[in-house]
Amino acid sequence: MRILLVAGARPNFMKIKPVHEQLARLEGVEPLLLHTGQHYDRRMSEVFFQELGIPEPDVNLGVGSGSHTRQTAEIMLRFEPVLAELAPDIVVVVGDVNSTLACTLVCAKSGVPVAHVEAGLRSRNWEMPEEVNRVLTDRLAELLFTPSRDGDENLLQEGIPAKQIHFVGNVMVDTLDAFAPVARKSAVLDDLSIKPRAYGLVTLHRPANVDSREGAENITELLLQGSQRLPLVFPIHPRTRGRLEEHGLWPQLEAAESLRLVEPLGYVDFLRLMQKARLAITDSGGIQEETTVLGIPCLTFRAETERPVTISEGTNRLVGTDAATALDAIDDALAAPMPEGRRPELWDGQAAGRIAEILVRR
Protein backbone atom coordinates (compact mmCIF):
# COMPACT_ATOMS: atom_id res chain seq x y z
CA MET A 1 0.00 0.00 0.00
CA ARG A 2 1.53 3.29 -1.11
CA ILE A 3 0.46 6.31 0.95
CA LEU A 4 1.55 9.80 -0.05
CA LEU A 5 1.67 12.32 2.80
CA VAL A 6 1.59 16.01 1.91
CA ALA A 7 3.08 18.81 4.02
CA GLY A 8 3.69 22.35 2.95
CA ALA A 9 3.91 24.78 5.85
CA ARG A 10 5.16 24.93 9.42
CA PRO A 11 1.83 23.90 11.05
CA ASN A 12 1.78 20.76 8.88
CA PHE A 13 5.12 19.36 9.97
CA MET A 14 4.17 18.63 13.58
CA LYS A 15 1.04 16.84 12.37
CA ILE A 16 2.59 14.78 9.59
CA LYS A 17 5.56 13.57 11.68
CA PRO A 18 3.72 11.05 13.93
CA VAL A 19 1.51 9.80 11.08
CA HIS A 20 4.52 9.09 8.87
CA GLU A 21 6.27 7.42 11.82
CA GLN A 22 3.33 5.09 12.52
CA LEU A 23 2.88 4.14 8.87
CA ALA A 24 6.60 3.41 8.44
CA ARG A 25 6.34 0.73 11.14
CA LEU A 26 3.70 -1.25 9.28
CA GLU A 27 4.60 -4.12 7.03
CA GLY A 28 3.35 -3.79 3.49
CA VAL A 29 2.95 -0.01 3.72
CA GLU A 30 5.13 2.43 1.79
CA PRO A 31 4.71 5.98 3.15
CA LEU A 32 6.09 8.68 0.87
CA LEU A 33 6.52 12.28 1.96
CA LEU A 34 5.93 15.26 -0.32
CA HIS A 35 6.87 18.81 0.69
CA THR A 36 5.20 21.45 -1.48
CA GLY A 37 7.68 24.12 -0.41
CA GLN A 38 4.92 26.54 0.59
CA HIS A 39 7.13 27.44 3.56
CA TYR A 40 10.61 27.48 2.09
CA ASP A 41 12.56 29.65 4.56
CA ARG A 42 14.98 27.48 6.54
CA ARG A 43 13.62 28.89 9.82
CA MET A 44 10.07 27.95 8.85
CA SER A 45 10.79 24.60 7.18
CA GLU A 46 14.18 22.88 7.15
CA VAL A 47 14.85 23.31 10.87
CA PHE A 48 11.58 21.52 11.68
CA PHE A 49 12.52 18.49 9.60
CA GLN A 50 15.86 18.32 11.40
CA GLU A 51 14.52 18.80 14.93
CA LEU A 52 11.51 16.52 14.56
CA GLY A 53 13.50 13.79 12.85
CA ILE A 54 11.29 13.82 9.77
CA PRO A 55 13.01 12.06 6.84
CA GLU A 56 14.05 14.06 3.81
CA PRO A 57 10.98 14.47 1.60
CA ASP A 58 10.75 12.02 -1.27
CA VAL A 59 9.57 14.97 -3.37
CA ASN A 60 9.93 18.72 -2.86
CA LEU A 61 7.85 20.83 -5.23
CA GLY A 62 9.73 24.00 -4.25
CA VAL A 63 6.77 26.26 -4.81
CA GLY A 64 7.79 29.22 -2.65
CA SER A 65 5.77 32.31 -1.85
CA GLY A 66 3.02 34.09 -3.76
CA SER A 67 -0.57 35.23 -3.41
CA HIS A 68 -3.05 32.64 -2.20
CA THR A 69 -4.36 32.10 -5.72
CA ARG A 70 -0.97 31.97 -7.39
CA GLN A 71 0.48 29.65 -4.76
CA THR A 72 -2.48 27.27 -4.89
CA ALA A 73 -2.35 27.17 -8.70
CA GLU A 74 1.41 26.59 -8.78
CA ILE A 75 1.15 23.70 -6.32
CA MET A 76 -1.57 22.12 -8.46
CA LEU A 77 0.51 22.42 -11.63
CA ARG A 78 3.59 20.88 -10.01
CA PHE A 79 1.72 18.23 -8.05
CA GLU A 80 -0.27 16.72 -10.92
CA PRO A 81 2.64 15.00 -12.77
CA VAL A 82 4.14 13.81 -9.46
CA LEU A 83 0.83 12.26 -8.48
CA ALA A 84 0.63 10.45 -11.81
CA GLU A 85 4.21 9.19 -11.49
CA LEU A 86 3.95 7.96 -7.89
CA ALA A 87 0.43 6.51 -8.29
CA PRO A 88 -0.38 6.33 -4.55
CA ASP A 89 -3.32 4.34 -3.23
CA ILE A 90 -4.33 7.31 -1.11
CA VAL A 91 -3.06 10.83 -0.38
CA VAL A 92 -3.03 12.20 3.18
CA VAL A 93 -3.31 15.97 3.63
CA VAL A 94 -3.22 17.80 6.95
CA GLY A 95 -4.53 21.08 8.31
CA ASP A 96 -5.84 23.99 6.30
CA VAL A 97 -3.01 25.65 4.37
CA ASN A 98 -2.98 26.27 0.61
CA SER A 99 -1.06 23.03 0.03
CA THR A 100 -3.89 21.08 1.67
CA LEU A 101 -6.54 22.31 -0.75
CA ALA A 102 -4.32 22.41 -3.84
CA CYS A 103 -3.29 18.77 -3.59
CA THR A 104 -6.84 17.70 -2.71
CA LEU A 105 -8.21 19.37 -5.85
CA VAL A 106 -5.68 17.60 -8.05
CA CYS A 107 -6.52 14.26 -6.44
CA ALA A 108 -10.24 14.86 -6.96
CA LYS A 109 -9.67 15.56 -10.65
CA SER A 110 -7.41 12.50 -10.95
CA GLY A 111 -9.62 10.03 -9.10
CA VAL A 112 -7.18 9.49 -6.23
CA PRO A 113 -8.78 9.23 -2.76
CA VAL A 114 -7.81 11.75 -0.08
CA ALA A 115 -7.68 11.47 3.70
CA HIS A 116 -7.84 14.74 5.64
CA VAL A 117 -6.19 14.92 9.04
CA GLU A 118 -7.71 17.65 11.24
CA ALA A 119 -11.04 17.64 9.42
CA GLY A 120 -14.28 19.28 10.53
CA LEU A 121 -12.90 22.44 12.16
CA ARG A 122 -15.01 25.51 11.39
CA SER A 123 -14.60 29.20 12.21
CA ARG A 124 -17.51 30.15 9.91
CA ASN A 125 -15.50 33.18 8.86
CA TRP A 126 -15.22 33.01 5.08
CA GLU A 127 -12.76 35.90 5.03
CA MET A 128 -10.17 33.47 6.43
CA PRO A 129 -8.27 31.67 3.64
CA GLU A 130 -7.93 28.72 6.02
CA GLU A 131 -11.71 28.36 6.28
CA VAL A 132 -12.04 28.13 2.50
CA ASN A 133 -9.24 25.55 2.40
CA ARG A 134 -10.63 23.33 5.15
CA VAL A 135 -14.27 23.36 4.00
CA LEU A 136 -13.46 22.54 0.37
CA THR A 137 -10.95 19.87 1.40
CA ASP A 138 -13.55 18.18 3.59
CA ARG A 139 -16.09 18.15 0.75
CA LEU A 140 -13.65 16.32 -1.51
CA ALA A 141 -11.95 13.95 0.95
CA GLU A 142 -12.99 10.31 1.33
CA LEU A 143 -11.66 9.85 4.88
CA LEU A 144 -12.10 12.61 7.44
CA PHE A 145 -10.05 12.39 10.63
CA THR A 146 -11.42 14.78 13.27
CA PRO A 147 -9.54 16.03 16.36
CA SER A 148 -12.63 16.80 18.48
CA ARG A 149 -16.31 15.90 18.63
CA ASP A 150 -17.44 19.27 17.29
CA GLY A 151 -15.64 18.35 14.07
CA ASP A 152 -17.88 15.30 13.67
CA GLU A 153 -20.97 17.44 14.30
CA ASN A 154 -19.92 20.05 11.75
CA LEU A 155 -19.34 17.45 9.05
CA LEU A 156 -22.63 15.66 9.70
CA GLN A 157 -24.50 18.97 9.54
CA GLU A 158 -22.88 19.60 6.15
CA GLY A 159 -24.18 16.29 4.83
CA ILE A 160 -20.96 14.24 4.99
CA PRO A 161 -21.83 10.53 5.41
CA ALA A 162 -21.04 9.26 8.90
CA LYS A 163 -19.05 6.32 7.48
CA GLN A 164 -16.43 8.76 6.15
CA ILE A 165 -15.91 10.48 9.52
CA HIS A 166 -13.45 9.12 12.08
CA PHE A 167 -12.87 10.79 15.45
CA VAL A 168 -9.21 10.06 16.19
CA GLY A 169 -8.09 12.88 18.50
CA ASN A 170 -5.48 15.57 18.07
CA VAL A 171 -2.35 14.40 16.26
CA MET A 172 -0.45 17.56 17.24
CA VAL A 173 -0.57 16.36 20.84
CA ASP A 174 1.32 13.23 19.76
CA THR A 175 4.26 15.41 18.78
CA LEU A 176 3.96 17.64 21.84
CA ASP A 177 4.08 14.63 24.16
CA ALA A 178 7.03 13.13 22.33
CA PHE A 179 9.10 16.31 22.49
CA ALA A 180 8.10 17.74 25.87
CA PRO A 181 11.06 16.04 27.62
CA VAL A 182 13.43 17.25 24.91
CA ALA A 183 12.11 20.81 25.25
CA ARG A 184 12.79 20.79 28.99
CA LYS A 185 16.51 20.56 28.17
CA SER A 186 16.42 23.63 25.91
CA ALA A 187 18.53 26.59 27.01
CA VAL A 188 16.33 29.16 25.26
CA LEU A 189 15.23 30.86 28.50
CA ASP A 190 18.85 31.38 29.53
CA ASP A 191 19.75 32.52 26.00
CA LEU A 192 17.04 35.19 26.18
CA SER A 193 17.76 36.01 29.86
CA ILE A 194 14.17 35.45 30.93
CA LYS A 195 12.70 33.71 33.97
CA PRO A 196 9.92 31.10 34.06
CA ARG A 197 6.41 32.58 34.38
CA ALA A 198 7.84 36.09 34.06
CA TYR A 199 6.97 36.68 30.40
CA GLY A 200 4.20 36.35 27.86
CA LEU A 201 4.70 34.54 24.55
CA VAL A 202 3.30 36.19 21.42
CA THR A 203 2.55 34.93 17.92
CA LEU A 204 0.56 37.08 15.49
CA HIS A 205 0.56 36.54 11.74
CA ARG A 206 -2.95 36.32 10.27
CA PRO A 207 -3.67 38.72 7.39
CA ALA A 208 -6.70 40.18 9.16
CA ASN A 209 -4.43 41.27 12.02
CA VAL A 210 -1.31 42.45 10.22
CA ASP A 211 -1.98 43.31 6.58
CA SER A 212 -3.91 46.60 6.88
CA ARG A 213 -2.43 49.67 8.49
CA GLU A 214 -5.30 49.74 10.98
CA GLY A 215 -4.65 46.13 11.97
CA ALA A 216 -0.90 46.67 12.25
CA GLU A 217 -1.41 49.76 14.42
CA ASN A 218 -3.80 47.78 16.60
CA ILE A 219 -1.32 44.98 17.32
CA THR A 220 1.44 47.54 17.82
CA GLU A 221 -0.63 49.16 20.57
CA LEU A 222 -1.32 45.73 22.07
CA LEU A 223 2.38 44.86 22.11
CA LEU A 224 3.58 48.20 23.46
CA GLN A 225 0.94 48.44 26.19
CA GLY A 226 0.96 44.72 26.97
CA SER A 227 4.72 44.62 27.47
CA GLN A 228 4.35 47.28 30.18
CA ARG A 229 2.17 44.84 32.11
CA LEU A 230 4.34 41.79 31.47
CA PRO A 231 7.55 41.42 29.42
CA LEU A 232 6.69 39.87 26.05
CA VAL A 233 8.70 37.55 23.82
CA PHE A 234 7.67 37.70 20.17
CA PRO A 235 9.27 35.20 17.74
CA ILE A 236 8.14 37.12 14.70
CA HIS A 237 6.93 35.55 11.47
CA PRO A 238 8.80 37.02 8.45
CA ARG A 239 5.49 38.02 6.92
CA THR A 240 4.42 39.90 10.06
CA ARG A 241 7.71 41.74 10.25
CA GLY A 242 7.43 42.73 6.62
CA ARG A 243 3.99 44.26 7.14
CA LEU A 244 5.06 46.14 10.27
CA GLU A 245 8.05 47.54 8.40
CA GLU A 246 5.86 48.57 5.46
CA HIS A 247 3.59 50.50 7.81
CA GLY A 248 6.53 52.21 9.54
CA LEU A 249 5.75 50.63 12.92
CA TRP A 250 8.81 48.42 13.36
CA PRO A 251 11.06 51.09 14.97
CA GLN A 252 8.52 51.62 17.78
CA LEU A 253 8.50 47.94 18.58
CA GLU A 254 12.29 47.63 18.43
CA ALA A 255 12.60 50.49 20.91
CA ALA A 256 10.26 48.93 23.50
CA GLU A 257 12.38 47.80 26.46
CA SER A 258 10.11 44.99 27.65
CA LEU A 259 9.37 43.57 24.21
CA ARG A 260 11.80 40.96 22.88
CA LEU A 261 11.57 40.59 19.10
CA VAL A 262 13.35 37.41 18.06
CA GLU A 263 13.76 35.44 14.86
CA PRO A 264 11.43 32.47 14.25
CA LEU A 265 12.36 29.57 16.52
CA GLY A 266 12.55 25.85 15.98
CA TYR A 267 9.91 23.59 17.49
CA VAL A 268 11.88 22.57 20.59
CA ASP A 269 12.85 26.09 21.69
CA PHE A 270 9.37 27.41 20.99
CA LEU A 271 7.80 24.57 22.96
CA ARG A 272 10.08 25.38 25.90
CA LEU A 273 9.00 29.02 25.81
CA MET A 274 5.39 27.90 25.78
CA GLN A 275 5.91 25.48 28.68
CA LYS A 276 7.22 28.25 30.94
CA ALA A 277 5.18 31.25 29.77
CA ARG A 278 2.83 33.09 32.12
CA LEU A 279 0.39 33.48 29.23
CA ALA A 280 0.24 33.35 25.44
CA ILE A 281 -1.18 35.92 23.04
CA THR A 282 -1.86 34.44 19.64
CA ASP A 283 -3.95 34.20 16.50
CA SER A 284 -2.65 30.70 15.76
CA GLY A 285 -4.87 27.63 15.92
CA GLY A 286 -2.23 25.18 17.06
CA ILE A 287 -1.12 27.29 20.01
CA GLN A 288 -4.69 27.33 21.32
CA GLU A 289 -4.47 23.54 21.45
CA GLU A 290 -0.98 23.23 22.89
CA THR A 291 -1.59 25.76 25.67
CA THR A 292 -4.72 23.82 26.64
CA VAL A 293 -2.63 20.69 27.20
CA LEU A 294 0.16 22.61 28.95
CA GLY A 295 -2.12 24.66 31.20
CA ILE A 296 -1.02 28.07 29.92
CA PRO A 297 -3.61 30.89 29.73
CA CYS A 298 -4.17 31.63 26.05
CA LEU A 299 -5.59 34.91 24.79
CA THR A 300 -6.67 34.46 21.19
CA PHE A 301 -6.61 37.75 19.30
CA ARG A 302 -9.47 36.86 16.98
CA ALA A 303 -13.25 37.21 16.90
CA GLU A 304 -13.85 33.48 16.48
CA THR A 305 -12.07 30.15 16.70
CA GLU A 306 -12.39 26.87 14.83
CA ARG A 307 -11.23 25.12 18.01
CA PRO A 308 -14.07 25.74 20.51
CA VAL A 309 -13.00 22.77 22.64
CA THR A 310 -10.00 24.85 23.76
CA ILE A 311 -12.47 27.28 25.33
CA SER A 312 -15.06 24.87 26.71
CA GLU A 313 -12.48 22.44 28.12
CA GLY A 314 -9.17 24.28 27.92
CA THR A 315 -7.37 27.48 28.82
CA ASN A 316 -8.27 29.54 25.77
CA ARG A 317 -10.17 32.84 25.81
CA LEU A 318 -11.30 34.74 22.73
CA VAL A 319 -10.48 38.41 23.25
CA GLY A 320 -11.52 39.85 19.89
CA THR A 321 -9.30 42.11 17.81
CA ASP A 322 -9.46 45.34 19.79
CA ALA A 323 -6.25 46.15 21.63
CA ALA A 324 -8.00 47.72 24.64
CA THR A 325 -10.16 44.63 25.20
CA ALA A 326 -7.14 42.36 24.86
CA LEU A 327 -5.22 44.44 27.39
CA ASP A 328 -8.06 44.01 29.88
CA ALA A 329 -7.84 40.25 29.28
CA ILE A 330 -4.11 40.35 30.05
CA ASP A 331 -4.88 42.05 33.36
CA ASP A 332 -7.50 39.40 34.15
CA ALA A 333 -5.10 36.55 33.34
CA LEU A 334 -2.32 38.03 35.46
CA ALA A 335 -4.69 38.46 38.41
CA ALA A 336 -5.79 34.81 38.27
CA PRO A 337 -3.78 31.73 39.28
CA MET A 338 -2.27 29.53 36.61
CA PRO A 339 -4.84 27.02 35.33
CA GLU A 340 -4.28 23.29 35.19
CA GLY A 341 -3.70 21.65 31.85
CA ARG A 342 -6.60 19.59 30.53
CA ARG A 343 -6.81 17.05 27.79
CA PRO A 344 -10.01 16.88 25.76
CA GLU A 345 -11.20 13.44 24.68
CA LEU A 346 -8.57 11.41 22.78
CA TRP A 347 -5.90 14.09 23.12
CA ASP A 348 -3.79 11.29 24.51
CA GLY A 349 -0.77 11.20 22.21
CA GLN A 350 -2.11 8.18 20.29
CA ALA A 351 -3.99 9.84 17.44
CA ALA A 352 -1.46 8.90 14.75
CA GLY A 353 -1.76 5.21 15.58
CA ARG A 354 -5.52 5.38 15.14
CA ILE A 355 -5.09 7.17 11.81
CA ALA A 356 -2.60 4.59 10.53
CA GLU A 357 -4.87 1.73 11.54
CA ILE A 358 -7.86 3.19 9.69
CA LEU A 359 -5.81 3.94 6.57
CA VAL A 360 -4.51 0.39 6.37
CA ARG A 361 -7.91 -1.14 7.17
CA ARG A 362 -9.38 0.82 4.31
Distances (CA, A) of 354 to 93, 168, 174, 269: 16, 6, 11, 28
Amino acid at 137: T
Cβ–Cβ < 8 Å for 156, 139 = no
Q: Are 299 and 276 in contact (CB under 8 A)?
A: no
In the chain, CATH 3.40.50.2000 sits at 2-169+347-361, 180-335
Is 3.40.630.30 the CATH classification of the domain at 2-169+347-361?
Answer: no
Task: Identify the CA nearest to 119 among candidates 156, 65, 80.
Answer: 156
Question: What confidence score (pLDDT) does residue 41 get?
Answer: 56
Tell me, what's the pLDDT at 163?
A: 98
Q: CB–CB of 243/217 below 8 Å?
A: no
- With respect to CATH, is domain 180-335 assigned 3.40.1410.10? no
68 counts as catalytic: no
Q: Which of 68, 205, 237, 247 is catalytic?
A: 205
The Cα 336–Cα 328 span in angstroms is 13
Mapped onto helix, strand or coil, the DSSP state of residue 116 is strand
> What contacts 227, CB < 8 A, 6 or more positions away?
256, 257, 258, 259
CA distance 292 to 263: 25
For residue 77, how many other CB atoms are within 10 A of its CB? Answer: 13
Mean pLDDT for back-to-back runs of 10 residues, the chain (362 residues): 93 93 97 85 66 91 88 96 98 96 98 98 95 98 98 98 98 97 97 98 92 95 98 93 96 97 94 98 96 98 97 97 97 96 95 98 86
Is the C-alpha dihedral spanning 121, 127, 133, 136 positive or negative? Answer: positive
